Amino acid sequence: MLKVGDERPLSNSSMVALSRNVSEHIFTCEVQDINPAANFSWTLDGGQLPTELVSDPITGPGTGGLTTSMSNATLVADPKYNGKELKCAVVNYDGDPGIMIRVMLTVDDPCKSNPCKNGRNCTLTPDGFKCVCPLGTQEPDCDSQASDGLTTGQIVGICVGAGAVVAIFFVLTLCILCRESLSKRCSCLQCKSSVNPEKEGGTPDKEALELNGGSTSNKEKEEG
């Protein structure tokens, strides 16, 4: 939480006041009864605040025909602001020497006590803090691996499955080739058996002899 230190804001004039909106971390610097309207300069520990953190001056009626001017500065509850001085300096548009008010900031760091469990990271928020699971894990316990890709086990399973498919395809192809080769070999053996009936105890037939370019008469002449 961003808050003003224990001491009262220090000012060189009773005309200026500094108030704070706790919920929105807005500091308001107000100068009453100034003429012409005021020009504000906000500094934090001596350094100029970025313009996006400072509002344009707001003017309103004062007393005796004078003007009341206001300016807002918005700061986040960042621990780096702890112990630093926030100062609002005011001059009128004519450049007359102005007045100023300053306060010391105190920023409580709720993450300092390590309130998050199960390895969660403590992150500051405008309302305090929140606990976030480390990268690669997920709620509710921050102990489950969260991944948009495949796990190591899934990759190994895919590789094993692909290898098995390739192996099965190879074996089937080999079996088909072997069957074709054996079929041709068997046909040759049957042909040889038909032209050598003595080995089978039979008589050669005419068709088998013609396939082998011979006849029974030629064979008998060769044997005579």
Residues forming beta bridges with residue 21, ordered by sequence position: 26
Question: Considering only 65-79, 109-123, 135-149, which range has the smallest mean pLDDT?
Answer: 135-149
Sequence-separated (6 or more) residues with CB below 8 Å from residue 69: 30, 31, 34, 37, 38, 40, 57, 58, 59, 60, 90
Q: Mean pLDDT over residues 67-91, rounded? A: 87
Q: What is the mean pLDDT of residues 65-90?
A: 86
Domain 111-145, CATH class in plain words? mainly beta
DSSP state of 149: S
- pLDDT score for 2: 57
Residue 221, CA atoms < 13 Å, CB-side half-sphere: 4
pLDDT at 48: 93
pLDDT band at 87 (very low <50, low <70, confident <90, very high): very high
- pLDDT digit string, tens, across residues 9-62: 777 777 788 887 766 688 999 888 877 778 899 999 989 999 999 988 888 887
CA atoms within 13 A on the CB side of 88: 29
Q: Would the pLDDT of 119 be above 50?
A: yes
User: If pLDDT is split at 50, 70 and 90, which confidence band does 72 have?
Assistant: very high
Residues with Cβ within 8 Å of residue 103, at least 6 apart in sequence: 4, 5, 7, 9, 10, 18, 85, 86
- AA identity, residue 201: G
CA nearest 61: which of 99, 40, 34?
A: 34
- Write the DSSP symbol of residue 176: H
The 10s digit of each residue's pLDDT in 154-180 is: 777 787 777 787 778 777 777 777 766
Fold of 2-108: Immunoglobulin-like (2.60.40)
Q: What pLDDT does 203 receive?
A: 52
Residue % of the chain over a pLDDT of 70: 65
* Residue among 34, 33, 35, 3 nearest 19 (CA): 3
DSSP label of 148: S
The pLDDT score that the predictor gives to residue 163 is 76
pTM: 0.50
Structure tokens of 96? 């007359």
Closest CA relative to residue 38, chosen from 67, 62, 72, 9: 67
CA dist., res. 137 & res. 131, Å (int): 13
